[in-house]
Amino acid sequence: MSAVADQDGGRDRIARRIHVQGKVQGVFFRAWTVEQATGLGLDGWVRNRHDGSVEAVAVGPADKVEELIARCRRGSPASTVEAVTVEDMPGIVDPGFSQKPTL
């Protein structure tokens, strides 16, 4: 499990790559993910992929990252989530949570 030191106090933070498949493009899934992650105080990003899926990286306290993953499994109101895969990854991201261009 990847953990990184929190810059403001030593709390361990985890980093996860979240890959969401289903009807997740054209339904405001990315904007919804930014809203959810920002509300949880996470750092990272989200982007569409050319295969129709959405990819996100979330970094923060384990309970907050796991909550975002649970929310992604349920999806945004207009989405239909078919599968979610989660991987550990290095926790180096810019502060805040943003949308990235499609890959």
Positions marked active-site: 30, 48
Residue with token string 């895969």: 85
Task: Tell me if 103 sits within 8 A of 51, measured CB to CB.
Answer: no
Length of the chain: 103
* Parallel/antiparallel/unpaired status of strands 43-48 and 97-99: parallel
Contact 46, 33 (CB under 8 A): yes
Q: Where does 1-103 have alpha helices with state H?
A: 29-40, 62-74
